[in-house]
Structure 1
Amino acid sequence: MTSVPRRTTVPAERRAVVTGAAGFIGSHLCEALLQEGWLVTGIDHLRGHPADVAAHNLETLRPDPRFLLVRADLATAELDSLLDGADTVFHLAARPGVRSSWGEEFSEYVDSNVLGAHRLLDAAGRAGVRRVVVSSSSSVYGGAEDGATPETRLPTPLSPYGATKLLTEHLGLAHASRPGARTSVVALRYFTVYGPRQRTDMAIARMIDSALTGSPITVYGDGLQRRDFTFVSDAVRANLLAAQAETQAAAVNVGTGRTVTVLELIDLVGEIVGRPVVYEHSAARDGDARSTHADLTAAVKLLGYQPLVDLRTGIERQVAWRRSLAADIREPQPVGG
């Protein structure tokens, strides 16, 4: 469970709605909100995760009487009643993944990431929701070849996924900027979030599994591409801070301001696990940025956000969590006697 300090400024009966509640970041955020005394309605269509993954993510939430899970698709559901009385909506529901956004599956990205967001924002405005916190992505930038990327950088997404996330946040900012708008919006541009419950197709999860099992993974490109990795508890804390930030419409980076190459990351994961990550190279793929690097100036000023978990500590926590799921891990045994 994500550990977030309790703040006495949050009324015990404040109500939040979290879309994508059964997902990686969403489930951690729901736990943190309950810890702070919020009443939480989680919305998830439960089609984006294997049933056992969703069940595990929701394991600590379902027994809590302050948490209500509603199975609904934002692109089609009647949303007004779900948002009635909500103070804050945290919008994390989305179709993820850069590579699968090319081709025929793009229509699913439009439904989930664009149409669903638009309908949610419309309903939030009608319900008089005070604040919507929209989850966006560093994918909107396309890359950072010349240092840390501020929010003033012109977004140039390199993938259909990145384009839908940019449109999602622009929809939110447009809704909040209308004359007389009752709902304000903060869009958070996450830089590669990792930690317990991370999707199994993400880099750090695949590296950990490779080191634990000896199964090879593929490194696309030369492995010298750089990434800014954000631990999930920092992403959750950014959401909580964004719920209270004094602004009507803003987009803000959420990262660490530090980068590491893929090959350096592979070495670090192997060192922490105690066994090497087994990998092979393949050609770079469409949509992959050469570098991501968050400028946190606006996050510090607007949210009071600073990352608290360094990469080594975060990976140690994810490895410990992964090892706790020992039933499906077959760690290689030493040879000889």
Structure 2
Amino acid sequence: MNIVVTGAAGFIGSHLCEALLSQGHLVKGIDQLQPASALKIKEDNLKNVLAHPNFEWQPADLLGMDLDREIDKADIVFHLAGLAGVRNSWGKTFADYLQANILLTQKILEACKQASRLKKLVFASSSSVYGGGGGQYNSESSPTQPISPYGLTKLAGEQLCYLYHKQYGVPYTALRYFTVYGPRQRPDMGFHRFMRNAWLGQPLLIYGNGEQTRDYTYVSDLVDANIKAMHYAKHGTVFNIGGTETASINEVVQKIERLAGKPLNITYSPEQPGDPFATRADIALASAELGYQPKVSLDQGLGEQWSYITALYENQNP
């Protein structure tokens, strides 16, 4: 099939492109290589696919390009592009989140409603739509009460998909990602920071008391969920995509200390606005409807990411 992936050079998008190409699809990857500080990271993410004969690479500003032309002949669209991060979504930078997560999604949907061959739009949403959580499992019917501007923009993206499905028949499925980790994770994300600092012997700052819990999803399991959603015959649906287990930040740090063979120098600071205390994914619906079953344990996934991090920072070992 002809497949368009927005956010193709990112952490998740690059893994998804590799998987789609391995299945024989024609993949067009679109991503904005900004800011300049992210350029090398994104280029490295794509190094395994740039020379592939079935991969077309298009670095561009998605908001400024002619998406109607790009999507017109697509069978499938994966919309992963957007601005992530809870803590940075407050204040003046909220305007950037509006642009990247709401206005861009609306522009994608406008192009999708006119694409005659489109079989499925898979939209990347987030567990942040649920809010803080009290440790209970979140099902797709749980209240959506974001506690961060980022979560609000992802919920707005879901609602836009629903509107375009009801009004114009856009065939979409939304996936709510729960804390994704693995090789190529962005440098600002938790596991990357923890492992980098452990490898380099640098102090580590943890917000809150470290007892916050997350449902961690390894990137290959998430990619599998996206591909299953691509083939899902029903439309107008949303699914939780979580991992094999839940753990606290402190428990994860202990696992990283075992991988590093040394203790981390940890400093705790006050919780940050918008950070949920607990996220837990009820994936029963995704299991029943998509056949989704996460396979990678937290220990296994952390080991894979540790190998990636030590190779990435090999030359910086003090």
CA distance in 1, matches of 2:261, 2:273: 33
Query: How far apart are 1:326 and its partner, in Å?
Result: 4.1
Query: How far apart are 1:72 and its partner, in Å?
Result: 2.2
Residue pairs, 1:125-274, within 5 angstroms? 125-128=113-116, 129-178=118-167, 181=169, 183-256=170-243, 258-274=245-261
Aligned to 2:47: 59
Q: Deviations over 1:150-189 (max 9, x none)?
A: 01011010100000011111111221222x61x3111110
CA distance in 1, matches of 2:49, 2:134: 41
Q: Deviations over 1:39-95 (max 9, x none)?
A: 000111111561110110111111112111112222222111111211100000001
CA distance in 1, matches of 2:287, 2:162: 20
Aligned to 1:82: 70
Letter in 1 for 2:158: E
Query: How far apart are 1:102 and its partner, in Å?
Result: 0.3
CA distance in 1, matches of 2:79, 2:104: 10
Q: Deviations over 1:265-291 (max 9, x none)?
A: 100111122222221000011000010
Aligned to 1:288: 275
TM-score of the two chains, using structure 2 as the length reference: 0.96
CA distance in 2, matches of 1:83, 1:328: 42
In the alignment, is residue 314 of structure 1 matched against residue 301 of structure 2?
Answer: yes
Q: 1:26 aligns with which of 2, 9, 13?
A: 13
In the alignment, is residue 17 of structure 1 matched against residue 1 of structure 2?
Answer: no
Q: 1:107 aligns with which of 84, 88, 95?
A: 95
The 10-residue stretch of structure 1 (136-145 or 47-56) with the greater mean CA deviation from structure 2: 47-56
Contact 1:74 / 1:112 at 8 angstroms: preserved in 2?
no
Q: Deviations over 1:105-154 (max 9, x none)?
A: 11111111000010101101101211000000000101321421101011
Aligned to 1:9: none
In the alignment, is residue 92 of structure 1 matched against residue 92 of structure 2?
Answer: no
Contact 1:195 / 1:317 at 8 angstroms: preserved in 2?
yes
Contact 1:15 / 1:88 at 8 angstroms: preserved in 2?
yes
TM-score of the two chains, using structure 1 as the length reference: 0.91
Contact 2:11 / 2:45 at 8 angstroms: preserved in 1?
yes
Contact 1:43 / 1:69 at 8 angstroms: preserved in 2?
yes
CA distance in 2, matches of 1:298, 1:309: 19
Q: What secondary structure does 2:237 align onto?
A: strand
- Where structure 1 has 5 or more consecutive residues not aligned to the other structure, the ranges are 1-13, 332-337
Provide closer, same or farther for how the CA distance between residues 21 and 226 of structure 1 changes in structure 2, counting only shifts above 3 A: same
CA distance in 1, matches of 2:157, 2:187: 25
Q: Deviations over 1:169-228 (max 9, x none)?
A: 1111221222x61x3111110001000000111111111112111111211111111111
Q: What secondary structure does 1:206 align onto?
A: helix
Q: What secondary structure does 1:259 align onto?
A: strand
Contact 2:196 / 2:313 at 8 angstroms: preserved in 1?
no
- Where structure 2 has 5 or more consecutive residues not aligned to the other structure, the ranges are none
CA distance in 2, matches of 1:146, 1:189: 17
Letter in 2 for 1:184: P
